[in-house]
Structure 1
């Protein structure tokens, strides 16, 4: 089997059945390259003589639908067939299904900034990179978010929301034990020792068995786990340098009762949060509203703080978020309208206002008109849920500090499989996270090389 076909087969298999290629697509990152210019995109909005119908798939459909309707009202010559595909996990599986079947593929599809790479490599998404679009669009989004929708020299979407990290702190628990809100990982360790000693049912935090949660922590301390050199050339650095040092620290926290390994985002986890098992929880900013919805009894007991720093260095945040992409199957005559739609939806001033009106002002957008708005940055909490009213300022400051020296592998679904099989079982006081990371790296190297990637590791 040729290297390019093997690679595409591997990528296509990530969400579905192993060994099925994406209909012969090549792997140079340009297999579905558009020649649409920024002027073509503008013309698609202003030329009302051309009627276009676009099928759009989204998992954030509830939050997005009013804004989609606002677009149709403003540009009635572009009709949107809007499809709610359900939960994100189901959404990506459904999209992979239709891509493999080469039937009923939508023109526009919502993606995630840490999942689109496998679809880009397999040829399922349109690469619309060119100088005119780069120049016109790059200023419409934050630098970090704009960088995240690029991959291996290609451009595959318009950034939608952003998800900087914050530390959600049960200040009532800390006050009860005469502890301070931690500013560093050293604080988390030292105060966690005291907390767990005084109450063995309490931990400073949880080390969650969720791949995004796990990688966010490494990104926030500037510990690279891998590097993507090109579409089929990767480096794995999971068990050396700062990454190994941080892994050793996490294992120490587990061993000494500072952190507890466990599942997150489940009913059991939510009950533990409500019961005060964890004094802090480092997670993306959407968690702020989740607390309000799921844990109303914690009103007034929590503060939102910056993520902890590492080894005396300022913290570096993490951010993923959603994006809107155009599928490679979108007919050429509809591509300009599709690109016009995704860019308007995610960057236009009226669209951003619609997002906020629909979502009670709580959708943290990647668009410059939102991120540069001092009124948004300085907006105060008024419902009294959090003890500090400057929660938005914490999110904006965190967004300003996102670690940009980071990218995701083009086979993150396989990374998740290995993570669950090899690393998660070692997330306990008697575990060996360092050994697990080394084993996981070996498995990922073997997988990648088996499927046509050039791979170097810190052990080479």
Structure 2
């Protein structure tokens, strides 16, 4: 059995089309509060006198179909119509279309942690927050993962997996140039300057110009570009404080050949990775298996290290590269809501559901459930296939998850962030302008968009 850990909700989930805007749903937000008790949910599993049909949509169908089948066999009175909606980008577009049309909306839908907020704001997802559910279910998941499914005072799903960040390091390259594996951002810069000076074709790392993963990096240094106070109030802080401090640092890294802007996901980028253009890669834990699948020639040349610490006092923040969740749509009839909630909790949170996930995926799934997170045997599991030069890869993933920066909000309109980032920040990453000015333009863009869509907005300049 493979020892490394896989996250199936990868960066593709960020590729949501711009047309699926935050307030474009045809469902009214005021109608999305569940009227169901914990006893109703538990009874839905045990009361076989009632048959319930649930339609479930997922973009990670291959990984989820095993647990869904196990649930169906165990609870045959809850009949699951399981739909593979294809790639994540197609999935979200299809969901937005049926929500807008108010027709054909599934009862249960897989969501990305970084995408669901816009559907929560628009009222497309069921808010099932209650004191009894918080008490009963909240302790069954990793703290950061459970926080992730809350937004604006509501609870909109159960977390499925997580993706704590790790630093993937081409140690063979660093060894060749007499450099050490960095543990802080300052060391990253210092060693990177040396590397690029010795070999101008190589860089210590890259910043993606084709997606918004830079904001996940901001999270690792304790920088918070926005604070979402509730479903109608947001504060932007993209031009001052820790955000500005780190953006200036990134600019310095770009100017001095430590970092390079790269359009990730392209054939050219994949060749650069394989050829050793970049000595490190800060990425979610799913990247470990991607390397094994796509870059077999790198076997034995890499180590997995902790994300970099920030500041002279060594303060360390960790981040996640999003994750998946199951949500119930607000269009689900009231007489089916209990069964739908029972399903998403059993699959993602129960011991049996987690076991089915791991069995179906040969252990390659970093589950958010505490049945997985608190299993010491998973944390201590060692690499045995020799791909990475260090064998304690799982331990690093779990330690990263333990230290996820909790002072973080996902923006409730990620599609607009993607568009605005491409218009303002991406050009500056490639040398056409400076980053701090680009972040000022980005903040202005996001502020205007938020206000146009009914948000009350404050900024660090107010």
CA distance in 1, matches of 2:119, 2:21: 15
Q: Which residue of 2 aligns with 1:16?
A: 19
Q: 2:371 aligns with which of 369, 372, 387?
A: 369
Instruction: Give me the TM-score of the superposition, normalised by structure 2.
Output: 0.94
Query: How far apart are residue 255 of structure 1 and its match?
Result: 0.4
Residue 175 of structure 2 corresponds to which residue in structure 1?
175
Residue 431 of structure 1: how far off its partner (Å): 3.6
The offset of 1:265, in angstroms, is 2.6
Summarize the Cα distance change of 1:313–1:210 in structure 2 as closer, same or farther, 3 Å threshold: farther
2: CA distance between counterparts of 1:76 and 1:266?
44
Q: Which string of whole-angstrom CA distances, capped at 9 and with x for unpartnered residues, describes residues 146-173 of structure 1? A: 0110010100000000110000000000
Q: 1:321-379 CA distances to partner (integer Å, 9 max, x unpaired)?
A: 10000001111001000000000100111221221122221100000000000000000
Of residues 410, 413, 422, the one that matches 1:411 is 413
17-26 vs 444-453, greater mean Cα deviation: 17-26
CA contact (8 A) 1:15 1:92 kept: no
In 2: Cα distance, 1:342 partner to 1:287 partner: 26
Cα deviation, 1:431-450, whole Å, max 9, x if unaligned, reads 40010001110111112112
Deviations 1:28-86 (A, max 9, x none): xx531102111111100011111111000001110010110011111111111000111
Residue 264 (structure 1) shift: 1.4
Q: Distance in 2 between matches of 1:104 and 1:452?
A: 27
- Looking at structure 2, the residues matched to 388 and 108 of structure 1 have their Cα atoms a distance apart, in angstroms, of 40
CA distance in 1, matches of 2:263, 2:22: 31
- Helix, strand or coil: the match of 2:391? coil
Q: Give me the whole-angstrom Cα distance separating, in 1, the residues matched to 2:296 and 2:358.
A: 22
Gaps of 5+ in 2: 1-15
Alpha-carbon separation, structure 2, partners of 1:20 and 1:238: 23
1: distance between equivalents of 2:345 and 2:383?
30
**Shift in CA distance, 46/24, structure 1 to aligned 2, threshold 3 Å:** closer
Distance apart, 1:206 and its partner CA = 0.4
Give 1:155's aligned residue. Answer: 155
Distance in 2 (CA, whole Å) between partners of 1:455 and 1:446 is 9
Residue 195 of structure 2 corresponds to 195
2: CA distance between counterparts of 1:268 and 1:330?
A: 45
Aligned partner of residue 31 in structure 2, secondary structure: coil
Instruction: Flag the 1:292–1:18 CA change in 2: closer, same or farther, 3 A.
Output: closer
Encode CA deviations 1:75-113: one digit per residue, 9 max, x unaligned: 111111000111111111100000001111000000011
Q: Is the partner of 1:329 in helix, strand or coil? A: coil
* Aligned residue among 389, 392, 397 for 2:391: 389
- Work out the number of aligned pairs and report it: 445
| Residue ranges of structure 1 left out of the alignment (5+ in a row) | 1-12
2:71 aligns to what? Answer: 71
Q: Is the 8 A contact 1:35 1:130 kept in 2?
A: no
Deviation readout 1:213-248 (Å, 9 max, x if unpaired): 211100000001000112111100001000000000
**Residues 59/14 of structure 1: CA separation in 2 closer, same or farther (3 Å cut):** closer
> In the alignment, what sits opposite 1:423?
425
Deviation at 1:24, TM superposition (A): 6.2
1:25 and 2:64 equivalent?
no
Give yes or no for the alignment of 1:46 onto 2:46. Answer: yes
Q: Verify the 8 A CA contact 1:15 1:96 in the aligned structure 2.
A: no
Q: Which moved more, 1:287-296 or 1:353-362?
A: 353-362
Aligned match of 2:451: 449
Deviates more, 1:217-226 or 1:358-367: 358-367
The match for 2:353 is 351
Q: CA 1:24–1:174 in structure 2 vs 1: closer, same or farther (change >3 Å)?
A: closer
Aligned equivalent of 1:239: 239
Q: Is the 8 A contact 1:213 1:283 kept in 2?
A: no
Please list the CA deviations of residues 162-221 of structure 1 after superposition, one character each: whole Å capped at 9, or x if unmatched: 110000000000000011111011111000001001111100000112444211100000
Q: CA deviation at 1:313?
A: 3.4
Change (3 A) 1:93 1:430: closer
Give matches, 1:254-293, under 5 Å. 254-293=254-293
- 2:295 maps to 295
Structure 2 SS opposite 1:217: helix
Do the aligned partners of 2:27 and 2:122 also contact (CA within 8 Å) in 1?
Answer: no
8 Å Cα contact 2:23-2:121 kept in structure 1: no
Q: Which moved more, 1:17-26 or 1:132-141?
A: 17-26
Moved more, 222-231 or 262-271: 262-271
SS in 1 for 2:201: coil
Contact 2:27 / 2:99 at 8 angstroms: preserved in 1? Answer: no
Aligned-residue Cα RMSD (Å) equals 1.5
Residues 162 and 212 (structure 1), Cα distance of their counterparts in 2 relative to 1, 3 Å cut:
farther
Residues 172 and 100 of structure 1, relative CA distance in 2, 3 Å threshold: same
Could you say which residue in structure 2 is the equivalent of 1:94?
A: 94
Equivalence for 2:325? 323
After superposition, what is the alpha-carbon deviation per residue over 1:127-160, rounded to whole angstroms, capped at 9, x for unaligned?
0011111111101111111011001010000000
The higher-RCO structure (CA 8 Å, 6+ apart) is 2
Q: Does 1:332 align with 2:334?
A: yes
